[in-house]
C-alpha cells in the first residue's frame, strides 16, 4: 500500500473486516486464552448446580437425610465462589482485550491518515474522518466487550446442557441439541439481517458528524449570513436519519425468535423428563436436574440479543476503518530514496498538473531556480501560483513532466528527507492550540528557548509575544483564533526561521501585515533568504523587485519569466500585473495613512 508516512507497522490482515479483527485479536493470545478458559469455567461451574440440586431432592424424598442437603449447599457455595473468580478473570481479560484493540486500531488508523496524500484528505470530510477515528474505533472496543465477551460466555452456556444432559440419561440430549441447532440458525439469520442495518447506522452517524464539523468550522460564515435556522433544520434531518436507523435496528431485535424458542424448549424438556419419569427411567432428582440445566439457556438467549448488535456495529465499523486504511494514495514514503543535504536548485521540466483528471491547473511549466536565488511567482488569482509550490515538496505529484531538486526527481527523494528541508509559509496560516513556543518549535522539537526567541525576533514577533501575560507559554486558541492575522503570520514566519531550511517558500505570507510591520519583516525575510533558495508568491512590489528571477503565470501557463527590469520592457502581461499590484498597494498605503 502506498503511503506518504508510516509511523507504526502492525502485522494485521487488511484483506477483509473479519480478518482485520481476527488479526488484531491474535496479537494478544494470552488474553484470548483467558477469555475462552474463563467462559468455559464459568459455564461448567454453573452447570454443577443443577446436579447438586437434583441430589438434594433425591436425598430429601428418599431418605430425608438433610446432611446431603447441607453438603450440596456447601458445594454450591464453593463452586459459585470459584465461579466468581473465574468470571472476574474472564471479564478483566475481555476489558483489557477491548481497550488494547481500541488503542491499536486507533494508532493504526491515525498513522494511516497521516500517510494519505492531500488528494485523499481533500475528498473526505474532516467530520467523517473524526467519526471513524473516534466512534468507529470505540465500536470495535464495544464489539470485544461486551460483544465478543458475552457471545463467548453465552456459547459456553449453550453447549453445557448438551454435554451435561446425556450424563443424566443419553436420550436427554434430544431437546437441548434441537434447541442449540435452532439457536445457531436463528443467530445466523439475525446477523445477516442486522449487518446492513448496522452499516447504515454507522454511515448515517458519519454523515451527521461530517455536517456538524463543517458547520462548526464555518460558524463565522453561518452567523454572518444569518443561516442558523437553515443549518439547524438540515442538521436535525440528519439526526432524524440516525434515529430512524436505530429504530430499524430495534424493530429487528424485537423480532428475535430465540425469545419464543426458549420457553418451548423448557416445556419440551419438562415433558420429555416426565415421560421418562413415568417409565421409571428417571427419578425426581434427575428430572429436576435436567429441567434446571435447560435454564442455563436463559443467558445465551437474552444476552445474544445484546451482544450480537454490538458485534454487528463493531464489524460495520471495522469495515469503515479498513476502507480508509486500504485506500491507496499516489504518494509513498520512499524510505530507500535519495537522502542528502539540499543545495537548493529547483527545476520544473515541462510540468502539468490537475487536482482531478478532468481539469488541468498547470500546463507545460518549465523554469529553473539556482541555489540561493530568490524567485517571485506572480499572476492573477487562480493562475496556479500556490499549486506550483505544492509540487516542490510533493504535497501533490505532477501529472506529467518532472520537478527536480538538486537534479533529482522529487519522486525519487526520501520524502521525509525532502520535506524536512523545505519550509512553507502559506497564506492560510495554521497554528495549533498549543503554546506559542510549541508552535514556533513545531518543525524542530529540539529547539532551545534561546533559539525560539531568536526566531521570533527575526520574524518581528518577540514584542507582541511579550505583551501577553504568559509570554512564550501563552496557549493560543484553535487555529490561532485569539491572534490577529498579522500576528499569526509572524508566528508562522518564526516557525520557518526555526527550521533553518535550505528552501523557503512564502505564499503571500505578508498579506495580513501592515506596512510598518512589513518593512521590519522585509528585512528579516531578506536576511533569511541569504544563502538559501526562496520562492515568493506575493503581491508586494518591494518583494517582487528584489527577486532574482520572476515567473509570470496566466491560466496555468508561463507567459513570461526573467528579471524585473527585463520583464517591464518585454512583457505586456507582466506590465499589466505590475500596474495592478502598484495601484492596489498605493490604495492600501493610503488607507493606512488615513487610519
DSSP reduced 3-state for 420:
coil
- Helix, strand, coil % over all residues of the chain, rounded to 5: 65, 10, 25
- The position carrying cell 430429601 is 60
How far CA 423 is from CA of 286, 354, 529, 590, in Å, comes to 82, 23, 12, 33
> How far is it, in rounded angstroms, from Cα 310 to Cα 314?
6
Nearest to 258 by CA among 324, 306, 197, 319: 306
> How far is it, in rounded angstroms, from Cα 415 to Cα 6?
11
Q: Which residues of 175-214 are buried (b: 16+ CB within 10 A; e: fewer)?
A: bbeebbebbeebbeebbeebbebbbbbbbbbbbbbbbbbb
Tens of pLDDT, residues 322-348: 888 888 766 677 778 899 999 999 999
Query: Which pLDDT belongs to residue 593?
Result: 47
> How far is it, in rounded angstroms, from Cα 378 to Cα 575?
11
> How far is it, in rounded angstroms, from Cα 25 to Cα 100?
9
Over range 219-245, report the average pLDDT: 82
Nearest to 75 by CA among 47, 96, 115, 95: 47
Query: Which pLDDT belongs to residue 255?
Result: 80
> How far is it, in rounded angstroms, from Cα 143 to Cα 149?
8
Query: Which pLDDT belongs to residue 406?
Result: 94
Instruction: List the single range of 96-105, 409-418, 486-495, 504-513 with lowest mean pLDDT.
Output: 504-513
171 band by pLDDT with thresholds 50, 70 and 90 = very high
> How far is it, in rounded angstroms, from Cα 66 to Cα 429?
84
> How far is it, in rounded angstroms, from Cα 537 to Cα 555?
16
Cross-strand pairs, 550: 376, 562
Cross-strand pairs, 558: 553
Q: Is 353 left (phi over 0), alpha (psi -120 to 50) or beta?
A: beta
| CATH (one of 3.40.50.2300, 3.40.50.620, 3.40.50.300, 3.60.15.10) for 337-421+503-595 | 3.40.50.300
Over range 518-526, report the average pLDDT: 65
Query: Which pLDDT belongs to residue 1?
Result: 46
The CATH code of domain 17-325 reads 1.20.1560.10
Tens of pLDDT, residues 393-452: 888 888 899 999 999 999 999 988 898 888 888 777 778 888 899 988 887 888 888 989
Mean pLDDT, all residues of the chain: 83
Query: Which pLDDT belongs to residue 173?
Result: 93
> How far is it, in rounded angstroms, from Cα 316 to Cα 336?
37
Query: Which pLDDT belongs to residue 3?
Result: 55
Q: Are 207 and 238 in contact (CB under 8 A)?
A: yes
547 band by pLDDT with thresholds 50, 70 and 90 = confident
Tens of pLDDT, residues 68-123: 788 888 998 998 899 899 989 888 888 888 888 888 888 888 888 877 777 677 67
pLDDT above 80 for 384: yes
* CATH 3.40.50.300 fits domain 430-500: yes
Query: Which pLDDT belongs to residue 537?
Result: 87
Query: Which pLDDT belongs to residue 192?
Result: 85
Instruction: List the single range of 7-16, 194-203, 242-251, 276-285 with lowest mean pLDDT.
Output: 7-16
Residues of the chain with CATH 1.20.1560.10: 17-325
Residues of the chain with pLDDT > 70, as a percent, come to 90
Over range 206-215, report the average pLDDT: 80
Q: Could you tell me the maximum CA-CA distance found in the chain, to the nearest angstrom?
A: 123
Cβ neighbours of residue 342 closer than 8 Å, sequence gap 6 or more: 405, 406, 418, 421, 422, 502, 503
pLDDT above 70 for 313: yes
In a 13 Å sphere around the CA of 113, the CA atoms on its Cβ side amount to 18
Q: Are 145 and 306 in contact (CB under 8 A)?
A: no
Residues of the chain with CATH 3.40.50.300: 337-421+503-595, 430-500
pLDDT above 80 for 543: no
DSSP reduced 3-state for 421:
coil
32 band by pLDDT with thresholds 50, 70 and 90 = confident
Query: Which pLDDT belongs to residue 592?
Result: 45
Query: Which pLDDT belongs to residue 511?
Result: 56
DSSP reduced 3-state for 350:
strand
Over range 496-525, report the average pLDDT: 71
Amino acid at each position: 500500500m502506498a503511503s506518504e508516512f508510516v509511523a507504526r507497522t502492525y502485522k494485521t490482515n487488511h484483506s477483509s473486516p473479519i480478518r482485520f479483527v481476527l488479526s488484531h485479536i491474535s496479537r494478544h493470545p494470552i488474553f484470548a486464552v483467558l477469555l475462552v478458559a474463563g467462559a468455559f469455567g464459568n459455564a461448567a461451574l454453573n452447570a454443577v448446580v443443577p446436579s447438586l440440586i437434583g441430589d438434594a431432592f433425591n436425598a430429601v424424598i428418599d431418605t430425608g437425610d438433610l446432611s446431603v442437603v447441607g453438603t450440596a449447599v456447601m458445594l454450591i457455595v464453593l463452586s459459585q465462589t470459584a465461579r466468581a473468580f473465574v468470571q472476574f478473570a474472564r471479564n478483566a481479560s475481555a476489558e483489557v482485550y477491548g481497550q488494547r484493540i481500541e488503542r491499536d486500531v486507533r494508532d493504526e488508523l491515525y498513522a494511516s491518515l497521516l500517510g494519505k496524500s492531500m488528494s485523499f484528505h481533500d475528498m473526505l470530510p474532516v467530520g467523517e474522518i473524526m467519526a471513524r477515528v473516534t466512534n468507529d474505533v470505540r465500536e470495535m472496543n464495544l464489539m470485544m466487550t461486551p460483544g465478543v465477551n458475552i457471545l463467548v460466555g453465552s456459547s459456553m452456556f449453550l453447549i453445557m446442557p448438551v454435554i451435561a444432559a446425556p450424563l443424566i440419561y443419553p436420550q436427554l440430549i434430544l431437546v437441548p441439541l434441537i434447541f442449540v441447532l435452532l439457536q445457531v440458525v436463528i443467530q445466523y439469520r439475525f446477523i445477516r439481517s442486522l449487518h446492513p442495518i448496522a452499516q447504515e447506522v454507522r454511515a448515517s452517524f458519519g454523515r451527521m458528524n461530517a455536517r456538524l464539523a463543517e458547520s462548526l468550522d464555518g460558524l463565522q460564515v453561518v452567523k454572518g449570513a444569518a443561516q442558523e435556522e437553515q443549518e439547524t433544520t438540515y442538521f436535525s434531518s440528519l439526526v432524524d436519519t440516525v434515529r430512524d436507523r436505530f429504530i430499524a435496528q430495534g424493530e429487528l431485535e424485537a423480532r428475535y425468535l430465540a425469545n419464543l424458542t426458549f420457553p418451548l424448549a423448557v416445556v419440551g424438556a419438562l415433558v420429555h423428563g416426565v415421560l421418562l419419569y413415568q417409565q421409571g427411567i428417571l427419578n425426581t432428582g434427575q428430572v429436576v436436574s435436567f429441567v434446571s440445566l435447560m435454564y442455563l439457556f436463559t443467558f445465551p438467549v437474552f444476552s445474544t440479543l445484546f451482544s450480537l448488535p454490538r458485534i454487528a456495529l463493531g464489524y460495520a465499523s471495522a469495515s469503515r476503518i479498513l476502507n480508509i486504511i486500504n485506500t491507496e494514495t499516489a504518494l509513498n514514503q520512499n524510505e530507500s530514496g535519495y537522502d542528502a543535504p539540499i543545495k537548493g536548485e529547483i527545476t520544473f521540466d515541462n510540468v502539468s498538473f490537475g487536482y482531478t483528471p478532468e481539469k488541468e491547473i498547470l500546463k507545460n511549466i518549465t523554469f529553473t531556480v539556482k541555489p540561493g536565488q530568490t524567485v517571485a511567482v506572480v499572476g492573477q488569482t487562480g493562475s496556479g501560483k500556490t499549486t506550483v509550490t505544492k509540487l516542490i515538496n510533493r504535497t501533490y505529484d505532477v501529472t506529467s513532466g518532472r520537478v527536480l531538486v538538486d537534479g533529482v526527481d522529487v519522486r525519487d527523494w526520501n520524502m521525509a528527507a525532502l520535506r524536512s528541508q523545505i519550509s512553507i509559509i502559506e497564506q492560510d496560516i495554521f497554528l495549533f492550540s498549543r503554546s506559542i513556543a510549541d508552535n514556533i518549535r513545531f518543525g524542530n522539537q529540539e529547539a532551545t528557548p534561546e533559539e525560539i526567541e531568536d526566531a521570533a525576533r527575526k520574524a518581528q514577533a518577540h514584542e507582541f509575544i511579550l505583551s501577553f501575560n504568559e509570554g512564550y507559554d501563552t496557549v493560543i486558541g484553535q487555529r490561532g483564533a485569539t491572534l490577529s492575522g498579522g500576528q499569526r503570520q509572524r508566528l508562522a514566519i518564526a516557525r520557518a526561521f526555526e527550521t533553518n531550511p535550505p528552501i523557503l517558500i512564502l505564499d503571500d505570507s505578508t498579506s495580513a501585515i501592515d506596512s510598518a510591520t512589513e518593512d521590519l519583516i522585509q528585512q528579516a525575510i531578506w536576511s533569511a533568504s541569504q544563502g538559501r533558495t526562496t520562492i515568493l508568491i506575493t503581491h508586494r512590489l518591494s518583494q517582487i523587485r528584489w527577486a532574482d528571477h520572476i515567473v509570470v503565470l496566466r491560466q496555468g501557463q508561463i507567459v513570461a519569466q526573467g528579471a524585473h527590469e527585463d520583464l517591464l520592457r518585454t512583457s505586456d502581461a507582466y506590465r499589466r500585473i505590475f500596474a495592478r499590484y502598484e495601484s492596489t498597494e498605493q490604495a492600501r498605503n493610503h488607507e493606512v495613512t488615513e487610519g
